[in-house]
Structure 1
Amino acid sequence: MTTPLQDQAPSPTELDLAVDGMTCASCVARVERKLGRLPGVTAEVNLALEQAHVVLAEPTTEQDLLDAVASAGYTARVLARPGGGATAVPHANHDPDGHPDVDAEHALSGHGHHPGHTGDADTSAPTADRGAVLRRRLVVASILTVPVVVLSMIPATQFPGWQWVVAALATPVVTWASWPFHTAAFRAARHGSSTMDTLVSLGVIAASLWSLWALLLGGAGEIGMRMQPTLIPRLGEDAGMGHSLPELYFEVAAVVVTFLLAGRYAEHRARRSSGDALRSLLELGAKEAALVTIDDSGRRTERRVPAADLAVGDLFAVRPGEKVATDGEVVEGVSAVDASLLTGEPVPVDVAFGDAVSGATINTSGALLVRATRVGTDTALAQIARLVSRAQTGKAPVQRLADRISAVFVPIVMVIAVATLGVWLAIGASGGLTTGEVQAAFTAAVAVLIIACPCALGLATPTALLVGTGRGARLGILIKGPEVLETTRRVDVAVLDKTGTITAGRMSVTEVVASGTSREEVLTVAGAVEGLSEHPIARAVTDAAAAAGRPLPVVTNFVSAAGFGVSARVVRDGGAARVVVGRPSWVGEQASVPAEVADAVARLEATGATTVVLAVERGSGLVAVGVVALADELKPTSRDAVAQLRALGITPVLLTGDQEATARTVAAQVGIDRVIAGVLPEGKVAEVERLQREGHVVAMVGDGVNDAAALAQADLGLAMGTGTDVAIEASDLTLVRGDLVSAPTAIALSRRTLRVIKQNLFWAFAYNVAAIPLAALGLLNPMIAGAAMAASSVIVVTNSLRLRNAP
């Protein structure tokens, strides 16, 4: 008995289904329609991920959902269940031998798997095994098609019995190699629909069956027969045989299959990594944890355990350089934690007793003892994973241009072919049908189907995409798929992350203020003392001092006050003096601070800079003598990049987790007017959604895990190649060089690629519109129709090659 899902979790419930067998936008529409007919069910289906995100407002069983998908002609299984961890990314299971469980691997990659699935039924699915199936079929079809075309189109090569060789070579192509097209067409027909696969399958079947009839029963199998390509079908004679022979169209069917497989394989390669963002997120977390147990006598023991085994309340140790195993609270120790993974802010966060830390962040200095407060799917990292998954699945399915055309074109062509056959037979019947008239009728109908086979339509997108992405790769831009191109045309707002995108993502000294001494002396002494500290800010000060070229003095009696600063004795010219370097408030508790120094701190911090104060021993006490300001430095091309975005008609917006003052300073430097600061990953997604609700088409440029969900939610996601893998995988475009100026270049290249695709589709469609009437009137031999079809493909490819010099 199936239990209603609402008995397991409060209403409304959300869950994800993996759906197998979808090949085009009409498939998506059918699945959504079938699921939507269930009471209280709302579904969004993503073709690239092969997932359906289902919202249940009323009690509904899992089986009802699976049956609804099955009624549309597809298979499905539940990826995430209510109460079982609200994430569509379960951990991979292993068999007793340690090998990953196949189902878990499919779930992890975001793609479904079900018993009996062979990978043959869907040539569009992005999973790796189906890519191998496509590649194998394409290789075999290509090898067999070349001699078929040569023998059929060049009479000089037609030796006695050539037609039987052609039939033998073409048969595997029109059956085994094209089987995915036939099964997809049958599935669509069974549910009263048609796709581009329908026309491919009909054309291939019609050409093959006619050729087999001509070969076996029509006399074309006679040894010594030759076939001459002609523009207008001949009914009275054939190449020296002295009587009418029907034409063979094996080469047409083989060429159609081979070209379409090539286009489908190219498209598959652009889509196969759709689910890698979620896998990358999981891999960011710590794999092991140092579990600490304390017995009644207070003695501690420590042992290494898998991080997934931690429970709420467990104590675990985090040493310098290690990742925090899970979300928790510091119960012992002080340190600086690099939380840029989640917050995007480059300055490490100082933590001590009672402070919260997040899993996957990095402990940079002191040792910590942490009590786990959230584990598994409740952690901040898992929440970001859910955001990425939800944003990707929730994207409106982008229908491919070729599918949109074929949705109308395919039924029309089928009607024209049937009408052509009927009209020719009716005309012949008025005077008594002869064999020649019947052949003429079938020849014209077959010519309509062959000339209409959408080879050029199928190549229009992938060839332009391949050339465009190749050019993009040379420019340091990776375009992930044809869906991306449509979005670039409409983008009017670009949301830019700050750290690692506009700025370099590392702290550097921007200004030194001195009081009663020189700026060089302030930097030299501060750099010498900070050189013994592990804190990232200290390292930036030391690097700046070393770059200045002055010798650093000897430092003794070094003491670190974690989270506040350091103190030491500096030995110089035979004497030694106590020195303190650290936070202004901490230094102010120990030293007198001149007004000049206090004013400098206030001025610099107002711009968003991080300040470090240097105090030295003078007489009986410490006196503050200088301020070192640090900030995340701008990338040199950021200002030009913003200007280029504006030139493309795109409004830039700065969106960052950093503080308001810092964000506004950076925005002013690069020419951005609108600033949204202090937002966490959830806030970034919310801001992108708000802009979308306002009617904007939003591009997001970022580099970190904290940007991943926003990159997925945005209409167009652009990830800096110097960023994290999860950000790159969640994006639509990757800027390999990590240079913001690549963003407007990428958008310009994408827009031009889309323009070429539209030109390709126009010419492919115009070719069909012009040629179909000729075929229907009997003025076009199907063999010449096949050659013309190949010529249209050459035009499409040639036009696409113009992108080699883009943008």
Structure 2
Amino acid sequence: MSKIKCNHCHLEFSENVMIKEGDLNFCCKGCQGVYHILKDDGLESFYDKLGNKTLAPPLKIINDDVTKFDSKNFLDNYVSVTKDGFSQIDLIIEGIHCAACVWLNEKVLYETKGIIEANINFTSNKARIVWDEEKLKLSEIILKIRAIGYNAYAYDSSVADEQASKAKRDYFIRMMVAVIASMNIMMLSVAKYTGFFTGISEEVKNMIHIGEFLLSTPVLFYSGWIFFKGGYYGLKNRMVNMDFLVASGSTLTYVYSMFILFGAKGESYFDSVAMIITFVLVGKYLEVIGKKSAVDTLDKIKSSLPLEAVVIENNIKKTVALNSIKLGDIIEMRAGEKVPVDGIITKGEGFFDESTLTGESIPVYKKVGDTVFSGTINSNALIEFEVTKDFRNSTFSSIVTLLEDSLNSKPKIQTKAAEISKYFTVTILSLALTTFLVWYFFGVDLGFNYSGANHFEKSFIVAVSVIVIACPCALALATPMASLVGISELAKKGLLFKEAKFIESLAVANTVVFDKTGTLTKGELNVAKMKILDDNIHKLNLLYSLLAASTHPVSCSIKKHLETKYELTEKKLDNVKNIEAKGMSASYTNVDGKSFELLGGNVELLKENEIYYKFDSNKTVYLFTINKRVIASFELEDEIKDNAKDLVDFLQDKNIEVVMLTGDNENVASNIAKQLGIKKYFSFQTPVSKANYIKELKKENKVVVMVGDGVNDSVALSNADVAIAMGNSADVSLAISDIVLLNSSLTSLKDAFIISRKTYKFIKQNLTLSLIYNTVTIPLAMAGLVIPLFAALSMSLSSLMVVLNSLRIKMK
């Protein structure tokens, strides 16, 4: 039967196994997929450059293997729905070795119809993919990734940990083979180089060459296989990466040494081959260790939840897995157990240790009706609670998701570094070729005296040194390693960054805008003075009812105060309306059909309704009226939070402008601002005016951070460059915030600025170090001052330098 050549890999196959597509022939769907990817991207010139050369086909696709990705069970377990209605999944992509691999996968995925977002983290190989399920199946996404030579599977913490351990073992075995072989090669090399000075026969020298050949071969083709594989897929997709530099440098040296072994004149460099692979492998292994150390914080958090819970159904207790817990289930918890999901206590009372969420070591007392959060510990009692959030949406799971998202995102500075590293390897290969040509044709000999080497040999070895010494890996690691360590350190302080890019934004911020109540102050207003002008119990019931309809700290404090003075009953009100930054209005109709118009709020609210009541105070004022007649007045005061003054002083010392926006009156605002030393503040602010003020700041090209905690801050938060919400904030504020301050401590907020600035400084240091390294060492190698052996060592040390420098973020 006749053989037909595949239009992609150019290998020949029997006609009966080929996939026909018009005039095109493909040996497999992998080659067919890659061909169309290149064609659709306008990269057909790849085949012109390939000429008559052949390629190995991409991974063989087993269709049965991907059907599980579209099953209901798989989608329920691993796929979530975004707020826009799109499907979202986290995948681990196997085969990623460098920034070029990330670029290729992201490029292919982004250009796939139906994919909305594809973000791959270089340090963890984790991809966050958002797609339109009506246009694309998940199995098709997996096949797309496989078609370009990579593999993907759903991210699962246990599976991911197993894969990471497997990769670590694989690196370790390959590294140890290389280390043991290289040590033996060095012993032979000592004899060979000693012979240069004391004399050595050709027969003995040939025996040494054979020994070095036997030892270096497994190092190159077994230990160094990962570099060949990475370089191959890079070339196949028109990307020249760091793996290609290592593979090409060591292979050229190996081939040249083979010529010497079989009779050509000169010296063999099998020792350099082994050392190149060994040193780079050691560096890569240390990178793996460094990455794992930074991710350990997330693993520790995730491992603290129980795997199951006791559910009470029809008075029968049964143990169920966390994923099987449903809304409305009644969970029983014994003393010392961890809360598996969020809920409201229905039976029992006791203390809960919430230090895993807030960092506060003092247990919190909770009773029937109070909310318990997943991840906290029931300290001392038998508790029953009703489930209000399933496992996926519970507090603890949301925190883990935020952490994973932040580790999966990229700061802006990383994008710039990726652009540089994309063209780096091509530049290095061009410099190596130029170096060889200059040395060979112009007889340049500026550096190291290669004993006994001929002219070609000198030129060749210098060019190899240029290839080996360059380190795009250090450049690619500079940002993700520092970001990873920074994010883990921030998490320890109770700070959750939804995306790593906010580290950079926070580090360069020059203006911080604070809400007052609940942010700079405790938000626990106490009634300092109460005046009841009409103590009719029915009218006080209406006041109590209006207060109960609001969750604002002012209303809650007055309601709590009234409960200590009177026995009041809540009435059903009509037309309840929240009036931004001023108060509330409502109406009430009694059994006789008589209607009452209720107002509760500040002096401005009364003026708007043509009720003129003179009331001067430097405290927060609340007035209550029925049918435009003042029934009661309250003066409240709020304590300033611990360390608020320290935070404001710190920010101003760093030349960061501090602004306070509050809905309170001028007297209250000026009093708080004076105590904290805030020079710029604005009172009587509505949610819209807060947002407009932030917009104006951004028009002045200021990088604005907004810190708030209430629903009225949500619009302003959404307009800031960085939105920070307190952990006790309203759900809407948490949803649109960029950073969540779990413990609501202003000391942790100060830590956020310190660690972010420190991380950003180390990112810039890493980039500078890697650029300086390459700027200094590449010319030295071109001048012939560095032999391949030391070039490989230098390359590994540069990557290790970046990793170790990033770990310094942990140091105080």
What is the TM-score of this pair, normalised by structure 2?
A: 0.56
Do residues 268 (structure 1) and 288 (structure 2) align? yes
Instruction: Give 1:316 deviation, angstroms.
Output: 3.8
Contact 1:327 1:357 in 2 (8 A): yes
Could you tell me which amino acid in structure 2 is paired with residue 19 of structure 1? I
Contact 1:467 1:801 in 2 (8 A): no
Match of 1:33 in 2: 107
Instruction: Give 1:387 deviation, angstroms.
Output: 4.6
3-state secondary structure, aligned to 1:247: coil
3-state secondary structure, aligned to 2:312: strand
User: CA, structure 1 residues 772+790, in 2 after alignment: closer, same or farther (shift >3 Å)?
Assistant: same
User: CA, structure 1 residues 44+249, in 2 after alignment: closer, same or farther (shift >3 Å)?
Assistant: same
CA distance in 2, matches of 1:360, 1:409: 46
Instruction: Give 1:749 deviation, angstroms.
Output: 4.3
CA distance in 1, matches of 2:216, 2:670: 67
Instruction: Give 1:185 deviation, angstroms.
Output: 0.7
Contact 1:6 1:59 in 2 (8 A): no
Deviations 1:761-791 (A, max 9, x none): 33332235524654xxxxx38x746546757
Match of 1:62 in 2: 138
User: CA, structure 1 residues 744+56, in 2 after alignment: closer, same or farther (shift >3 Å)?
Assistant: closer
Instruction: Give 1:191 deviation, angstroms.
Output: 1.8
Name which of structure 1's ranges 67-76 and 315-324 shifts more when overlaid on structure 2: 315-324
3-state secondary structure, aligned to 1:411: helix
Instruction: Identify the match of residue 159 of structure 2 among 89, 106, 120.
Output: 106
User: CA, structure 1 residues 423+337, in 2 after alignment: closer, same or farther (shift >3 Å)?
Assistant: closer
1:163-562 equivalences in 2 (<5 Å): 163-218=209-264, 245-272=265-292, 283=303, 289-294=309-314, 300=315, 302=317, 308-317=323-332, 324-328=339-343, 352=368, 359-360=374-375, 369-390=384-405, 392-395=407-410, 399=414, 404-418=419-433, 440-441=455-456, 443-454=458-469, 458=473, 490=508
Do residues 19 (structure 1) and 98 (structure 2) align? no
Could you tell me which amino acid in structure 2 is paired with residue 454 of structure 1? I
Could you tell me which amino acid in structure 1 is paired with residue 426 of structure 2? P
CA distance in 1, matches of 2:427, 2:96: 23
Instruction: Give 1:202 deviation, angstroms.
Output: 0.6
CA distance in 2, matches of 1:668, 1:755: 38
Could you tell me which amino acid in structure 1 is paired with residue 283 of structure 2? G
User: CA, structure 1 residues 458+665, in 2 after alignment: closer, same or farther (shift >3 Å)?
Assistant: farther
Contact 1:337 1:361 in 2 (8 A): yes
CA distance in 2, matches of 1:655, 1:264: 50
User: CA, structure 1 residues 772+303, in 2 after alignment: closer, same or farther (shift >3 Å)?
Assistant: closer
Contact 1:18 1:76 in 2 (8 A): yes
Match of 1:634 in 2: 642
3-state secondary structure, aligned to 1:291: strand
Instruction: Give 1:604 deviation, angstroms.
Output: 12
CA distance in 1, matches of 2:355, 2:271: 59
3-state secondary structure, aligned to 2:119: strand
CA distance in 1, matches of 2:246, 2:233: 14
Match of 1:761 in 2: 770
Deviations 1:468-493 (A, max 9, x none): 99999999999999999977864556
Instruction: Identify the match of residue 131 of structure 1 among 148, 158, 168.
Output: 168
3-state secondary structure, aligned to 1:192: coil
Could you tell me which amino acid in structure 2 is paired with residue 253 of structure 1? V
3-state secondary structure, aligned to 2:272: helix
User: CA, structure 1 residues 36+762, in 2 after alignment: closer, same or farther (shift >3 Å)?
Assistant: closer
CA distance in 1, matches of 2:500, 2:409: 18
CA distance in 1, matches of 2:501, 2:270: 35
Match of 1:155 in 2: 193
Match of 1:536 in 2: none
Contact 2:257 2:267 in 1 (8 A): yes
1:633-712 equivalences in 2 (<5 Å): 634-635=642-643, 639-640=645-646, 642-648=648-654, 650=656, 676-679=707-710, 690-691=719-720, 696=721, 698=722
Contact 1:417 1:445 in 2 (8 A): no
Could you tell me which amino acid in structure 2 is paired with residue 52 of structure 1? R
**Percent of aligned pairs sharing the same letter:** 20
CA distance in 1, matches of 2:140, 2:802: 49
Contact 1:338 1:348 in 2 (8 A): yes
Name which of structure 1's ranges 485-494 and 309-318 shifts more when overlaid on structure 2: 485-494
User: CA, structure 1 residues 642+356, in 2 after alignment: closer, same or farther (shift >3 Å)?
Assistant: closer
Could you tell me which amino acid in structure 1 is paired with residue 281 of structure 2? L
3-state secondary structure, aligned to 1:272: helix
Instruction: Give 1:195 deviation, angstroms.
Output: 0.8
CA distance in 2, matches of 1:302, 1:799: 54
Instruction: Identify the match of residue 71 of structure 1 among 147, 154, 169.
Output: 147
Contact 1:287 1:306 in 2 (8 A): yes
Contact 2:344 2:387 in 1 (8 A): yes
Name which of structure 1's ranges 14-23 and 377-386 shifts more when overlaid on structure 2: 377-386
Instruction: Give 1:420 deviation, angstroms.
Output: 6.3
Match of 1:575 in 2: none
Instruction: Give 1:75 deviation, angstroms.
Output: 0.8
Contact 1:131 1:268 in 2 (8 A): yes
CA distance in 2, matches of 1:314, 1:797: 51
Contact 1:4 1:60 in 2 (8 A): no
Unaligned segments of structure 1, at least 5 residues: 80-102, 114-118, 120-126, 219-244, 295-299, 429-437, 515-563, 565-581, 592-601, 608-628, 728-734, 775-779
- Relative contact order (C-alpha < 8 Å, sep 6+): which is higher? 1
User: CA, structure 1 residues 19+700, in 2 after alignment: closer, same or farther (shift >3 Å)?
Assistant: farther
CA distance in 2, matches of 1:152, 1:663: 79
User: CA, structure 1 residues 756+145, in 2 after alignment: closer, same or farther (shift >3 Å)?
Assistant: farther
Contact 1:497 1:701 in 2 (8 A): no
CA distance in 1, matches of 2:268, 2:516: 64
Contact 1:663 1:675 in 2 (8 A): no
Name which of structure 1's ranges 250-259 and 179-188 shifts more when overlaid on structure 2: 250-259
CA distance in 1, matches of 2:803, 2:375: 44
CA distance in 2, matches of 1:316, 1:801: 46
Aligned positions, number: 600
CA distance in 1, matches of 2:285, 2:94: 18
CA distance in 2, matches of 1:468, 1:52: 17
Match of 1:588 in 2: 565
CA distance in 2, matches of 1:502, 1:423: 67
Contact 1:642 1:671 in 2 (8 A): yes
User: CA, structure 1 residues 421+767, in 2 after alignment: closer, same or farther (shift >3 Å)?
Assistant: same
Unaligned segments of structure 2, at least 5 residues: 1-63, 76-80, 444-452, 530-555, 569-615, 622-636, 682-704
What is the TM-score of this pair, normalised by structure 1?
A: 0.56
CA distance in 2, matches of 1:333, 1:51: 44
Instruction: Give 1:281 deviation, angstroms.
Output: 6.0
User: CA, structure 1 residues 324+253, in 2 after alignment: closer, same or farther (shift >3 Å)?
Assistant: closer
Instruction: Give 1:183 deviation, angstroms.
Output: 1.3
Contact 1:688 1:710 in 2 (8 A): no
User: CA, structure 1 residues 476+352, in 2 after alignment: closer, same or farther (shift >3 Å)?
Assistant: closer
